[in-house]
Amino acid sequence: MRFYLLREIQGLRYSGEYRASRKWSLPGVHCPRCDARWSTAVDSYPSVDLSHLPDVKKYAARLEEDYAEFERLREQVRPLAPPGVPLWPGTLLGPLVGTARGEFGPVLIQDPWTLLMRREVLERLQAEGVRGLKGCRTEFQFRKQDPPELLELELMPHGGLHPDCLPVDRPVPCTKCGRKGLKLPEEPVLDAATLPREVDVFRLEGFLTMIIGNERFVETMRRLGYEQDIAFRELPLK
């Protein structure tokens, strides 16, 4: 099985773009063990709805100095989030909310970690048997009538990079907050033993800016004519 990195294509056919943020997020944290003040800016779960939590105002982009309070807030979210996801400090939650303009094509990667597509494209891919596709609504305001229905794919984290492409002296993850402090290598190599077999498109666990599609996903996209809107770069396996 081959695997590909998905990226925005150069010279897009369409002018569509958006400016948006999430409704909620876990706060960033000051870890009492490693002393790091950090948050992720890319881990996101658009299906999560926190509107009914009594202290929903605490779920915002901010730094939480009290680690126990961060853990309490995270545990309130866990039953509402997809099973098994790590929920790092700063994890973004809920739909994209903002403005959009221009003409949107079938699919769009504006940020490397966010994949949008029209509803009819998602339904066509599902009908073709592509696995792991969950579309979540976006809340964009358009200036034109009859705007497109753009859905965001909620992509689960799976797999990792092979140790051979990472620094020998890489930092050990913090045993309390989990921070790894690794930079994406210039020539990433996927760890074949860790890659999922039950889904066809996902984000890479540990390097969440990377959206990965397997050959089933890429071949279907190409056959349906969507390769003009996304760049596919095959990654080596080891």
pLDDT tens sequence across 68-106? 999 999 999 999 999 999 999 999 999 999 999 999 999
In the predicted model, is pLDDT for residue 45 greater than 90? yes
In whole angstroms, what is the distance from residue 122 CA to residue 130 CA? Answer: 9
What length does the chain have? 238
Question: Percentage of the chain surpassing pLDDT 70?
Answer: 100
- Identify the band that residue 11 occupies on the pLDDT scale cut at 50, 70 and 90: confident
Across all residues in the chain, what is the average pLDDT? Answer: 95
Asked whether the predicted pLDDT for residue 216 surpasses 90, the reply is yes
**How far is the C-alpha of 57 from the C-alpha of 123, rounded, in Å?**
35
pLDDT at 10 over 90: no
* β-pairing verdict for 116-118 and 92-101: unpaired
CA angle 132, 78, 71 (to 5 degrees): 140
Question: Does residue 170 surpass a pLDDT of 90?
Answer: no
Q: Which pLDDT score is estimated for 41? A: 86
- Closest residue by Cα to residue 24 from 49, 2, 52: 49
| Cβ-defined contacts of 226-230 (< 8 Å, 24+) | 226/106, 226/107, 226/121, 228/9, 228/13, 229/9, 229/12, 229/13, 229/14, 229/105, 229/106, 229/107, 229/108, 230/6, 230/7, 230/8, 230/9, 230/107, 230/109
Mean pLDDT of 108-112: 94
Name 69's bridge partners: none
Query: What are the φ and ψ backbone dihedral angles of 14, each rounded to 5 degrees?
Result: -120, 155
* pLDDT at residue 12, rounded to an integer: 74
Give dist(CA 132, CA 4) in Å, integer. 16
In the prediction, which pLDDT does 146 show? 86
Residue 129 has pLDDT above 80, yes or no: yes
The one-letter amino acid code at 205 reads: E
The pLDDT assigned to 161 comes to 97
Mean pLDDT of 181-197: 95
- For residues 6 and 236, what is the distance between their CA atoms, to the nearest angstrom? 14
Q: 49 phi and psi, to 5 degrees?
A: -115, 115
- Asked if residues 72 and 169 have their Cβ atoms less than 8 Å apart, the reply is no
| 47-51, 105-109, 143-147, 173-177: least confidently modelled range | 143-147
Which one-letter amino acid corresponds to residue 166? L
pLDDT for the residue 43: 95
Domains of the chain, by residue range, sit at 3-11+156-234, 19-93, 96-107+115-153
**Model pTM score:** 0.94
Q: How is residue 238 written in tokens?
A: 């080891």
Q: Which residues contact 210 (CB under 8 A, 6 or more apart)?
A: 5, 112, 113, 184, 188, 203, 204
